[in-house]
């Protein structure tokens, strides 16, 4: 049996990008992952698909899997020779009960490693513009649990806490906020001392409520703030009005749905999240490679004879390279005289990544734009190859043929309907969604087909963003309005178009 290893990994304060590189690398090789509510469900996608995922689901005052059982599972899986990751919110050793889990492993003589995480006690205030220390305001900070062992008497000495001049940070204390504030005031803390409660800090759902010891309870009740929250008490809270940066992002509070295929959604998701949006990935398109393209043998037989090869998408590049590899070929088999055309910056980057120099990239990323860019360079009888998707537009092929060229299209992949996303899609558009993004006509048509006539009207209450004129036209064909369109027709420009439209709307 191979040597087991248990990693107690701090997942960070909430935003998945705040996990450490070490923590991420541990996840990538995990065979078993134990996770709970605060450890970032999104991070599970970094673990191998074949890994065993165990939800130990801790919620406030509700622990369906007791800590003793979690310890037992860790020991059991380790004894099976597995690589185990216990994914914990924040840092494993800061009110994360990581010490108890490490002791259980140590008592059994099992190997383990502690992978520190960014604790919410400093990260969440930072995301609310609150430094826990400041040379002229607070010389120290004190991290305190607001949720002690319920089987024992309270051990917090509020008389000492009230006298401290540093910042007080309470974790897991929202349910005991009234007692915390009353006790601090009773033992002499100024009732006007600044207080902040931060809900779901570092995420796009972050919400900050500020007040003072004598009024924060009422404010939190009116805002109906629920766990997870952290409480910050001290004069540093007053800096938040000047230093707030996260909640001031242009798309903060906006809920945006991305309909790109799962493998390609990341760039748009990253752009939107960088602007503060809450992003829901709900693909309406699934890229399905065709194992044996009909005319593959014919194309391969003259692969070194093409004067022009036109790639219209990243998918076409990936599928073409995959087929070359399957045929035992590589880029050396292409003609040295072949001119490579890329439609769009992302396609160009992918070709360069694969080792192909791009000779032509049209300014306008449409069939018409490609034709205009290529017209000066193509000659009658020249051979043109277009690796593409099934059911793509014929405009480019017809335009090239009208110039006398011989065009071969190589159908390498299909765009399927991911019907497994239908329920999530309908639930998402039924809620408080602000934007839906479309990056191709297929994403539009597939979405309409997936929601059906019954729910189509829901799209009229949501703003729609299209990457270009062809996609926008597809939206309009379904009697829907396009609220913004990218210029140029790129993913970053699409995110920027949404930002501009949102800023314009906020200025009204």
Burial of 65 (0-12, 13-18, 19+ CB in 10 A): middle
User: At how many degrees (to 10) do helices 441-455 and 422-430 cross?
Assistant: 70
Question: Which run of H or of E encompasses 209?
Answer: strand 207-212
Residue 248 lies in a domain: no
Domain identity same for 104 and 197: no
Residues 476 and 383 in one domain: no
Note down the domain range covering 76. 5-118
* Active site residues per annotation: 36, 58, 172
- Domain check: are 427 and 398 in the same one? no
Same domain, 309 and 404: yes
| One domain for residues 383 and 487 | no
Whether residues 35 and 145 fall in one domain: no
**Residue finishing a domain among 378, 396, 415:** 415
Q: With respect to residue 250, please indicate whether it lies within any of the assigned structural domains.
A: no
Residues of the chain by 3-state class (helix, strand, coil), percent to 5: 40, 20, 40
Instruction: Point out which residues pair with 242 in neighbouring strands.
Output: none
β-sheet with 229-233: strand ranges across: 141-145, 167-171, 229-233, 194-199, 207-212
Q: Quick one: 162 and 181 in the same domain?
A: yes
Contact 149, 247 (CB under 8 A): no
| Within a domain: 323 | yes
99 is a domain residue: yes
Query: Strand pairing of 194-199 and 229-233?
Result: antiparallel
17 shares its domain with 110: yes
Instruction: Look at the chain and report how many structural domains it folds into.
Output: 4
| 293 and 409 belong to one structural domain | yes
pLDDT digits (tens, 9 = 90+) for 435-463: 999 998 999 999 999 999 899 999 999 99
Residues 467 and 370 in one domain: no
Q: What is the pLDDT along the chain (508 residues), one digit of tens a residue?
A: 679 999 999 999 999 899 999 999 999 999 999 998 777 788 998 999 899 999 997 655 555 789 999 999 999 999 999 999 999 999 999 998 999 999 999 999 999 999 999 999 999 999 999 999 999 999 999 999 987 666 677 789 999 999 999 999 999 999 999 999 999 999 999 999 999 999 999 998 899 999 999 999 999 999 999 999 999 999 999 999 999 999 999 999 999 999 988 767 788 999 999 999 999 999 998 888 888 888 888 888 888 999 999 998 888 999 999 988 888 888 888 888 899 999 888 899 999 999 999 999 998 877 788 888 988 888 999 999 999 888 777 888 889 999 999 999 999 988 888 888 899 999 999 988 999 999 989 999 999 999 998 999 999 999 999 999 999 999 999 999 999 999 988 899 999 999 999 999 888 7
Indicate whether 445 belongs to any domain.
Answer: yes
Q: Show the tokens assigned to 253.
A: 């509070």
Whole-angstrom Cα distance, residue 28 to residue 22?
Answer: 10
Q: What's the pLDDT tens digit per position in 21-40?
A: 999 999 999 999 999 877 77
Q: How many Cβ atoms are within 10 Å of 255's Cβ, its own excluded?
A: 18
Residues 6+ apart with CB under 8 A from 273: 204, 279
Residue 453 lies in a domain: yes
CATH number at residue 338: 3.40.50.10090
HSE-CB for 358 with a 13 A CA cutoff: 21
> Which CATH number characterizes residue 165's domain?
3.30.950.10
Burial (CB count <10 Å: 0-12, 13-18, 19+), residue 121? buried
Question: Does 300 reside within a domain?
Answer: yes
Q: Which residue, among 181, 148, 186, 143, has the nearest Cα to 13 in the 3D structure?
A: 143
Q: Are residues 356 and 447 in the same domain?
A: no
Return the residue matching tokens 């490579």. Answer: 340
Residues 193 and 264 in one domain: no
243, 277, 300 - which closes a domain: 243
CATH code for the domain of 80: 3.40.1010.10
The domain boundary residue, chosen from 89, 118, 147: 118
Instruction: Supply the pLDDT for residue 210.
Output: 98
């Amino acid at each position: 049996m191979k040597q087991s290893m248990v990693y107690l990994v701090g997942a960070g304060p909430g935003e998945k990008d705040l996990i450490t590189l070490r923590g991420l690398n541990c996840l990538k090789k995990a065979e078993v992952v134990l996770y709970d509510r605060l450890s970032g469900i999104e991070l599970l996608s970094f673990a191998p698909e074949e890994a065993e995922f165990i939800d130990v689901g801790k919620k406030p005052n509700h622990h369906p899997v007791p800590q003793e059982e979690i310890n037992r599972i860790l020991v059991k899986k380790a004894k099976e020779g597995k690589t185990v990751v216990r994914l914990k919110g924040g840092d494993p050793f800061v009110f994360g009960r990581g010490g108890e889990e490490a002791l259980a492993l140590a008592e059994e003589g099992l190997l383990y490693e502690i992978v520190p995480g960014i604790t919410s006690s400093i990260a969440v205030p930072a995301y609310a513009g609150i430094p826990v220390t400041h040379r002229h305001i607070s010389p120290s900070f004190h991290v305190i649990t607001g949720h002690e062992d319920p089987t024992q008497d309270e051990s917090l000495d509020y008389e000492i806490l009230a006298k401290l001049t540093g910042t007080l940070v309470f974790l897991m204390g929202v349910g005991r906020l009234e007692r915390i504030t009353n006790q601090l005031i009773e033992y002499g803390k100024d009732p006007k001392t600044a207080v902040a409660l931060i809900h779901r800090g570092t995420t796009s759902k972050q919400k900050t409520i500020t007040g003072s010891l004598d009024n924060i309870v009422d404010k939190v009740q009116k805002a109906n703030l629920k766990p997870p929250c952290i409480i910050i008490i001290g004069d540093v809270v007053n800096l938040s009005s000047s230093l707030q940066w996260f909640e001031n992002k242009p798309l903060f509070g906006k809920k945006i749905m991305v309909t790109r295929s799962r493998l390609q959604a990341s760039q748009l998701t990253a752009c939107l999240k960088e602007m503060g949006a809450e992003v829901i990935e709900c693909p309406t398109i699934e890229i399905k490679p065709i194992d044996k393209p009909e005319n593959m043998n014919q194309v391969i037989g003259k692969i070194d004879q093409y004067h022009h090869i036109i790639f219209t998408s990243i998918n076409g590049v990936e599928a073409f390279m995959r087929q070359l590899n399957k045929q035992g070929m590589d880029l050396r088999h292409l003609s040295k005289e072949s001119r490579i055309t890329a439609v769009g910056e992302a396609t160009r980057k992918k070709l360069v990544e694969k080792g192909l120099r791009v000779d032509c990239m049209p300014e306008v990323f449409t069939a018409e734009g490609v034709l205009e860019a290529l017209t000066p360079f193509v000659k009658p009888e020249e051979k043109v190859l277009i690796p593409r998707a099934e059911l793509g537009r014929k405009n480019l092929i017809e335009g090239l043929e009208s110039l006398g060229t011989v065009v071969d299209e190589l159908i390498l992949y299909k765009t399927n309907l991911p019907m497994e996303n239908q329920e999530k899609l309908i639930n998402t558009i039924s809620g408080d969604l602000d934007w839906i993004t479309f990056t191709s006509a297929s994403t539009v048509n597939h979405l309409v087909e997936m929601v059906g006539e019954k729910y189509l009207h829901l799209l009229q209450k949501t703003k729609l963003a299209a990457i270009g004129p062809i996609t926008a036209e597809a939206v309009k064909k379904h009697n829907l309005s396009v609220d913004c369109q990218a210029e140029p027709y790129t993913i970053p420009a699409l995110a920027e178009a949404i930002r501009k439209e949102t800023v314009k709307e906020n200025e009204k």
